[in-house]
Amino acid sequence: MEVLRTADEIRDVNTRYHDLAAASYDFKWGIDFGDVGQRQVTSKIRKVLGPALEQGFEYSLEVGAGTGYFSLNLLRAGIVRHATCTDISPGMLRALLANAERLRLGVKTARADAEALPFAEHSFDLVLGHAVLHHIPHLERAFGEFHRVLRPGGWIVFAGEPSRFGDRLASVPKRAAMAAAPVWRWVIRAAPPPPPPTSPNAAMNGDEHDLEEVVDIHAFSPGDLARFARTAGFADVRVRGEELLANCFGWFNRVLESTADPDGVPMLWRQYAFHGYLLLQRVDERLLEPRLPPAVFYNLLLAARRP
Ligand SMILES: C[S@@+](CC[C@H](N)C(=O)[O-])C[C@H]1O[C@@H](n2cnc3c(N)ncnc32)[C@H](O)[C@@H]1O
């Protein structure tokens, strides 16, 4: 039976889920702050922003910044000069600051809900986010905030938002991976994962999978994203789609890996999964993205300008 949750409950579970996920987040999602990470992040933003990217941005604000994947890579690439990163999860912000320190990057952080940003109007040239809109209960309020804190002429860019079709499509490789998992573990000689530690938090929260169902509250059509931006007063609204083959491959492998003790997954397998994903990303980019409508891809990207 579907349990209806209030916006406050969703925000609370988001905070706790991401606090728990913070320590292993970069490893789980293969987040990189070297050349590969910079290329990935820059190419996503270029896809939707086009030539407006080349001028760079003086002051950026990221919402739901997590461990810093987008902002830290954009600082390193010189596309953003002063980055402010916000997140509802203090654990994520601690991980972000540790990454920034390791990379010797200066960054401001603030714990904030995307629906109530603690900044004056016209404070930023770019407001961005990756894989965050689908967690936010009241998107009209959040878009209103993005508009308020942007200076006129500034841009919003959001990437990594699940499309409705892609979300349904992803269930196919996920189910296939669950079915193939016992044979796969036998081939690579890996044991099932150890049971999760019983901490007071774990007992309170239930297992990670259950929480994921609570925090992922939206999937979008391209029209939905465009409408949120236009209703908030943005112009030059663009929505693109990306990753089809790469995502099916990625989900299949991630679900397989989640069924094994991480120490038992051979490095060779991890290399194959990572490089296979990058290869299929290029196939998507060159062959499929220019030919198919945004709605059929797994991820949607949105850019728009404050007039
Ligand atoms: C899927 S993670 C993505 C993190 C990061 N952007 C990345 O791409 O690695 C989503 C992030 O959004 C944050 N978040 C969830 N709900 C939020 C809200 N209402 N306001 C601000 N951040 C939120 C979570 O704490 C988490 O760090």
pLDDT for the residue numbered 209 = 64
- How many domains, in total, are found in the chain? 1
**Separation of CA 188 and ligand 1 centre (Å):** 34
Is 68 inside a domain boundary?
Answer: yes
Is 177 inside a domain boundary?
Answer: no
pLDDT for the residue numbered 52 = 86
> By the 8 A CB rule, do 249 and 304 touch?
no
Check pLDDT > 80 for residue 207: no
Ligand 1 atom 14 nearest Cα: 64
Kindly state if the Cβ of 62 falls inside 6 Å of ligand 1.
no
Kindly state if the Cβ of 142 falls inside 6 Å of ligand 1.
no
Check pLDDT > 50 for residue 75: yes
Please choose from 6, 10, 14, 33 the residue to mutate so as to test ligand 1's pocket, defined by most ligand atoms within 8 A of CB.
Answer: 14
Residue 88: which of 15, 142, 23 has the closest Cα?
15
Is 283 inside a domain boundary?
Answer: no
Is 264 inside a domain boundary?
Answer: no
**Separation of CA 88 and ligand 1 centre (Å):** 7
User: For 34-60, what is the mean pLDDT?
Assistant: 94
Kindly state if the Cβ of 244 falls inside 6 Å of ligand 1.
no
Ligand 1 atom 4 nearest Cα: 66
Ligand 1 atom 13 nearest Cα: 64
Assign 200 a pLDDT band (cuts: 50, 70, 90).
very low
Give the CATH number, domain containing residue 204: 3.40.50.150
User: For 52-72, what is the mean pLDDT?
Assistant: 96
Q: Which domain holds residue 103?
A: 7-168+198-244+293-305
Kindly state if the Cβ of 16 falls inside 6 Å of ligand 1.
no
What's the whole-number average pLDDT of the chain? 92
Is 139 inside a domain boundary?
Answer: yes
Paired residues of 110 in beta bridges: 86
Q: Which residues of 45-59 are buried (b: 16+ CB within 10 A; e: fewer)?
A: bebbbeebbeeebeb
Q: What is the DSSP letter of 220?
A: B
Ligand 1 atom 11 nearest Cα: 64
Check pLDDT > 90 for residue 121: yes
pLDDT for the residue numbered 213 = 76
Model confidence, pTM: 0.92
Residue 29 CB neighbour total at 10 angstroms: 15
pLDDT for the residue numbered 194 = 82
Please give the share of the chain, as a percent, with pLDDT higher than 90: 84
Residue 275 CB neighbour total at 10 angstroms: 10
Looking at per-residue pLDDT, the higher value among 2 and 68 belongs to 68
Kindly state if the Cβ of 130 falls inside 6 Å of ligand 1.
yes
Q: Is residue 225 helix, strand or coil?
A: helix
Kindly state if the Cβ of 114 falls inside 6 Å of ligand 1.
yes
Please give the share of the chain, as a percent, with pLDDT higher than 70: 94
pLDDT for the residue numbered 56 = 95
Instruction: State the virtual CA torsion across 178, 184, 188, 191 in degrees, nearest 10.
Output: 40
Ligand 1 atom 8 nearest Cα: 130
pLDDT for the residue numbered 265 = 93
Kindly state if the Cβ of 89 falls inside 6 Å of ligand 1.
yes
Check pLDDT > 50 for residue 201: no
Ligand 1 atom 27 nearest Cα: 66
Which range (20-24, 52-56, 59-63) has the least confidence?
A: 52-56
Kindly state if the Cβ of 64 falls inside 6 Å of ligand 1.
yes
Q: Which residues of 138-171 are buried (b: 16+ CB within 10 A; e: fewer)?
A: ebeebbbbbbbbbeeebbbbbbbbbbebbeebbe
Is 88 inside a domain boundary?
Answer: yes
Is 261 inside a domain boundary?
Answer: no
Distance, in Å, from the CA atom of 48 to the CA atom of 128, rounded to the nearest integer, reads 12
Check pLDDT > 90 for residue 32: yes
Distance, in Å, from the CA atom of 83 to the CA atom of 77, rounded to the nearest integer, reads 12
Looking at per-residue pLDDT, the higher value among 3 and 171 belongs to 171
Is 116 inside a domain boundary?
Answer: yes
